[in-house]
Amino acid sequence: DGTCVRDYIHVCDLASAHEKALAHLRGGGDTTAVNLGTGRGFSVKEILRAAEQVTGVSIPVTYGPRRAGDPAELV
């Protein structure tokens, strides 16, 4: 329904983190598992609204039921 909240990260920030992780590993650093994010959550509706404001284009939306097991908020 567009109200689920997720932590979105810009693809350039994600790519930069990958480069730093590879440099760390190549330098002999230990492996570790991490989750990358901004620490702030936004709903799908908020992201669509922001994209419409930036582009000036109305984005058609098709609403569907929440997927089984999908949490309402994941930040």
Instruction: Measure the CA–CA gap between 72 and 26, rounded to whole angstroms.
Output: 38
User: What's the pTM value of the predicted model, to 2 decimals?
Assistant: 0.68
Residue 30 DSSP one-character state: P
pLDDT at 66: 83
Q: What is the pLDDT of residues 12-56, one digit of tens each?
A: 999 999 999 999 999 999 999 999 999 999 999 999 999 999 999
Asked whether the predicted pLDDT for residue 65 surpasses 90, the reply is: no
Domain borders along the chain are: 5-65
3-state SS assignment for residue 6: strand
Asked whether the predicted pLDDT for residue 63 surpasses 90, the reply is: no
